[in-house]
């Protein structure tokens, strides 16, 4: 208790494991992240905060640690503290709906960051075209394996992005399925996008089928599948997709263990969302809205940014050229 009092007097309060300064009278933005354990979200947080601070705003970051109920409680806390905008990466699209309702009652706007909230009326959704992400994944794998047996590893069933990515897979693969060129022998969701789930599913599939290709929905699930392939001496022999351009997976691409990741220039996303959050708080019009997404209740005003495929052939011109990863790190373990 004495330590907590001392910290409070020093102007520091802890929320969700992240230390943040006390309110300073600046425009306050609440940034609720489903789970900060993944490398990708740590980057988003840093870049969003940096841009928001440049614009004169203060950001409270909350890590829900994968718990939808915790996320709701943390957002309520940020509303009590006077947040004018909540920027939310929902853990569960449906469970997060009360966050929007509670925020609007307080006159607070809600921006869905990279994942849309379902059955509610958020003010803005900003993401990459997740259907296009799935299409890129499937296109790159189909180029390498135009005929054969496919394993499909979908994302978290509670994340609408996972459904959109899977829709993209179908858009590309269905014609080949209809022609009898490929067969999806197993298609399963990976709870919480967990690599351990992907590893378990892949291990099981390898005992039952001859797998020629794996369409994995993100780099975490791809890494889990690659671990299962390595145990069987098959890593690099079965093309696999991913997304997010995580460091490990970009190393896998260089090593030939992963065929493609989909790079979503998250600096562009973070900067755009920081600017949009400040604009929402000031009641200004959001420039760049280029789509609408039906979330089960309304057509949510949406800004879609463009995803980019990353392969061994273009990795130097994409993630390295953007400074997302250094060349030394990608090639150090080759």
Residue 6 is predicted with a pLDDT of: 36
Residue of higher predicted confidence among 200 and 321: 200
> Is the pLDDT confidence value at 20 over 50?
no
Q: Are strands 124-128 and 85-89 parallel, antiparallel or unpaired?
A: unpaired
Handedness of CA 139, 234, 245, 185 (dihedral sign): positive
C-alpha span between 100 and 75 (Å, rounded): 10
Strand partners, 301: 292
Give per-residue pLDDT as tens, 77-116. 999 999 999 999 999 999 999 999 999 999 999 999 999 9
Give per-residue pLDDT as tens, 162-219. 999 999 999 999 999 999 999 999 999 999 999 999 999 999 999 999 999 999 999 9
Residue 157 is predicted with a pLDDT of: 93
Summarize the confidence of residues 314-320 as an average pLDDT: 94
Domains of the chain in sequence order: 2-122+265-306 (3.40.50.2300), 130-263+309-331 (3.40.50.2300)
Give per-residue pLDDT as tens, 248-263. 999 999 999 999 999 9
> Is the pLDDT confidence value at 138 over 60?
yes
Summarize the confidence of residues 22-51 as an average pLDDT: 87
Long-range (24+ apart) CB contacts under 8 A made by 170-174 are 170/134, 171/131, 171/134, 171/135, 171/138, 172/134, 172/135, 172/138, 172/139, 172/142, 173/138, 173/142, 173/215
Residue 37 is predicted with a pLDDT of: 86
Summarize the confidence of residues 262-289 as an average pLDDT: 95
Element counts in the chain: helices (H) and strands (E): 11, 14
User: Residue 14 — pLDDT band, cuts 50, 70, 90?
Assistant: very low
Question: For residue 317, what are its two tokens?
Answer: 């011109």
User: Residue 322 — pLDDT band, cuts 50, 70, 90?
Assistant: confident
pTM of the entire predicted model: 0.75
> Is the pLDDT confidence value at 22 over 80?
no
């Amino acid at each position: 208790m004495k330590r907590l009092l001392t910290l409070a007097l020093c102007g520091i309060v802890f929320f969700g494991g992240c230390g943040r300064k006390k309110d300073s009278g600046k425009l306050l933005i609440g940034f609720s992240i489903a789970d900060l354990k993944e490398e990708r979200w740590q980057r988003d947080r840093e870049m969003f905060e940096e841009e928001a601070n440049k614009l004169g705003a203060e950001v409270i970051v909350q890590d829900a640690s994968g718990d939808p109920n915790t996320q709701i409680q943390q957002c309520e806390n940020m509303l009590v503290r006077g947040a004018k905008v909540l920027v939310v990466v929902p853990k569960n699209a449906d469970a997060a709906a009360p966050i929007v309702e509670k925020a609007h009652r307080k006159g607070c706007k809600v921006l869905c960051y990279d994942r849309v909230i379902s059955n509610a009326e958020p003010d803005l959704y900003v993401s990459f075209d997740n259907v296009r992400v799935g299409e890129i994944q499937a296109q790159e794998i189909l180029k390498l394996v135009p005929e054969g047996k496919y394993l499909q590893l979908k994302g978290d069933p509670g994340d609408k992005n996972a459904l959109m990515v899977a829709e993209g897979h179908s858009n590309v693969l269905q014609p080949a399925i209809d022609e009898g060129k490929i067969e999806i022998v197993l298609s399963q969701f990976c709870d919480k996008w967990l690599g351990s789930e992907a590893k378990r599913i892949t291990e099981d599939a390898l005992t039952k089928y001859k797998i020629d290709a794996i369409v994995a929905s993100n780099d975490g699930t791809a890494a889990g599948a690659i671990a299962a392939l390595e145990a069987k001496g098959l890593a690099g022999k079965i093309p696999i997709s991913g997304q997010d351009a995580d460091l490990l997976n970009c190393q896998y691409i260089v090593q030939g263990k992963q065929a493609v990741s989909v790079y979503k220039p998250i600096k562009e996303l973070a900067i755009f969302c920081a600017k949009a959050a400040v604009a929402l708080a000031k009641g200004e019009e959001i420039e760049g809205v280029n789509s609408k997404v039906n979330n089960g209740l309304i057509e949510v005003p949406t800004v879609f940014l463009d995803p980019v495929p990353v392969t061994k052939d273009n990795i130097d011109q994409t993630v390295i050229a953007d400074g997302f990863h250094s060349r030394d790190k990608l090639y150090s373990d080759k």
